[in-house]
Amino acid sequence: MHEHRRRGLPNPSDLSRGPTVDERKTCPRCTASLPLESFIRPRSQRVGTYCGPCQTERNRESKRRSAATINRQQRERWARPIDPTEVRRCPRCGENKPRSEFSASGRGGYCKPCRAAYARDRNARRRDEDRQRKYGYSPEMFAALLEKQGGGCAICGRTKVTNGRWISTHAKDLHVDHDHETGQVRGLLCNQCNVSLGLMDDEPDRLIRAAEYLKNPPAQ
Q: pLDDT averaged over the chain?
A: 83
Q: Of the residues 97, 122, 147, which one is the last residue of a structural domain?
A: 122
Note whether 211 and 143 are same-domain residues: yes
Note whether 141 and 197 are same-domain residues: yes
Q: How far from chain centre, in Å, is Cα 92?
A: 23
Per the structure, how many domains does the chain have? 2
Mean pLDDT of 130-139: 89
pLDDT of amino acid 2 = 52
Q: Is the pLDDT of residue 16 over 50?
A: no
Note whether 194 and 156 are same-domain residues: yes
Nearest alpha-carbon partner for 97 in 106, 107, 88: 88
Domain residues for 110?
A: 87-122
In a domain, 59, yes or no: no
- Place 161 in a pLDDT band, splitting at 50, 70 and 90: confident
Cα-based angle 123, 129, 135 (whole degrees, multiple of 5): 125
SS3 188: strand
pLDDT of amino acid 170 = 77
Note whether 166 and 107 are same-domain residues: no
Q: Spell out the residues 6+ positions from residue 175 whose beta carbon is closer than 8 angstroms to its own.
A: 161, 188, 189, 190, 191, 194
Q: Is the pLDDT of residue 87 over 80?
A: yes
N residues, the chain:
220
Torsion 161-167-169-170 (CA) sign: negative
Contact 6, 43 (CB under 8 A): no
Note whether 148 and 94 are same-domain residues: no
Note whether 142 and 191 are same-domain residues: yes
In a domain, 208, yes or no: yes
pLDDT of amino acid 164 = 61
In a domain, 41, yes or no: no
pLDDT of amino acid 98 = 92
In a domain, 53, yes or no: no
Note whether 141 and 211 are same-domain residues: yes
pLDDT of amino acid 52 = 87
Note whether 143 and 198 are same-domain residues: yes
Give percent of the chain with pLDDT exceeding 90: 24
In a domain, 211, yes or no: yes
Q: Of the residues 63, 95, 122, which one is the last residue of a structural domain?
A: 122
Note whether 152 and 104 are same-domain residues: no
Note whether 191 and 154 are same-domain residues: yes
Q: Is the pLDDT of residue 15 over 50?
A: no
Q: At what angle do helices 112-135 and 139-148 cross, to 10 degrees?
A: 90
In a domain, 60, yes or no: no
In whole angstroms, what is the distance from residue 2 CA to residue 6 CA? Answer: 6
In a domain, 61, yes or no: no
Least confident of 15-29, 85-99, 159-173: 15-29
Nearest alpha-carbon partner for 176 in 163, 164, 187: 187
- Place 11 in a pLDDT band, splitting at 50, 70 and 90: low
Cα-based angle 69, 74, 78 (whole degrees, multiple of 5): 150
pLDDT digits over 176-205, tens only?
898 888 888 899 998 888 888 889 888 889
Q: How far from chain centre, in Å, is Cα 156?
A: 31
In a domain, 179, yes or no: yes
- Domain of residue 202, CATH code: 3.40.1800.10
pLDDT of amino acid 65 = 93
pLDDT digits over 54-74, tens only?
988 999 999 999 999 999 988
Q: How far from chain centre, in Å, is Cα 79?
A: 30
pLDDT of amino acid 165 = 65
Q: Of the residues 122, 145, 179, which one is the last residue of a structural domain?
A: 122
Note whether 102 and 169 are same-domain residues: no
pLDDT of amino acid 22 = 62
Q: CA-based Rg of the chain, rounded to a whole angstrom?
A: 30
- Place 1 in a pLDDT band, splitting at 50, 70 and 90: very low
Q: Is the pLDDT of residue 7 over 60?
A: no
